[in-house]
């Protein structure tokens, strides 16, 4: 057998082995399969809202009690009730309580918890990570990238606006009793409670005399 024939057979054999080792897939089918696992922030936020939020609210401290602890021992408040990401100095809290609406401003309600304690409930600019991180239920390690993780906050804040704030704005007037649950953020380096805004995730209004 000539060398040419031997070389030709060898090359053909090599191509045959290479061909058999390839996993040839249809590109369109691959795209479709990949699309099934695409992360959709709105769906994740809806599951969080329906499945996890009620438990977060039930376990949240009363706002008036948390305010007292923050004033007396902020380190204890941060450690026991706050959540944070990494080495951040910002802590996020889920809280609940009730109080009388004193003022309805463009961006927030002023709520009197008692004679000495007033807080602000956001009713306009709903943004940030307070609800996502204050819940303690959304773990950054469960996400493939920070874009998906950040989009969860956007989607949750959209639900806050649609399901809570819109209804609250329509009905809130001074003198009404507001029972609420919500999330807030506070810096370990600046515990100025006057600047704190609570993003509401649950509200119930009444005249303060009857249900």
For the chain, the domains span 41-206
**pLDDT above 60: residue 15:** no
Cα 91 to Cα 185: distance, rounded to the nearest angstrom = 6
Nearest to 112 by CA among 104, 127, 101: 101
CATH 2.40.50.140: does it fit domain 41-206? no
Q: What is the pLDDT of residue 191?
A: 85
pLDDT band at 1 (very low <50, low <70, confident <90, very high): low
Distance (Å, rounded) from C-alpha 198 to C-alpha 61?
A: 14
User: Token digits for 145?
Assistant: 């990238």
Could you tell me which residues are beta bridge partners of residue 62?
Answer: 96
Query: pLDDT confidence of 11, banded at 50, 70, 90?
Result: low
Averaged pLDDT for residues 20-33 = 46
What's the CA gap between 201 and 134, in Å, rounded? 11
**Torsion sign (Cα): 6, 12, 15, 20:** negative
């Amino acid at each position: 057998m000539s060398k040419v024939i031997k070389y030709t057979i060898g090359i053909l054999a090599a191509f045959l082995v290479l061909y058999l080792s390839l996993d040839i897939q249809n590109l369109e089918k691959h795209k479709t399969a990949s699309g099934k696992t695409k992360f959709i922030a709105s769906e994740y936020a809806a599951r969080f809202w329906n499945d996890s939020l009620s438990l977060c609210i039930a376990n949240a401290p009363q706002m008036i009690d948390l305010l007292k602890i923050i004033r007396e021992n902020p380190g204890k408040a941060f450690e026991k009730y706050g959540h944070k990401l990494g080495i951040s100095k910002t802590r996020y809290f889920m809280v609940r309580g009730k109080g009388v609406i004193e003022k309805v401003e463009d961006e927030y309600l002023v709520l009197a918890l008692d004679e000495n304690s007033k807080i602000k409930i956001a009713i306009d600019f709903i943004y940030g990570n307070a609800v996502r991180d204050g819940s303690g239920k959304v773990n950054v390690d469960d996400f493939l990238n920070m874009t998906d993780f950040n989009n969860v906050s956007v989607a949750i804040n959209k639900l806050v606006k649609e399901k809570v704030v819109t209804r609250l704005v329509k009905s809130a007037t001074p003198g009404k009793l507001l029972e609420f649950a919500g999330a807030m953020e506070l810096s370990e380096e600046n515990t100025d409670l006057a600047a704190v805004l609570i993003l509401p995730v649950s509200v119930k209004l009444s005249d303060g005399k009857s249900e």
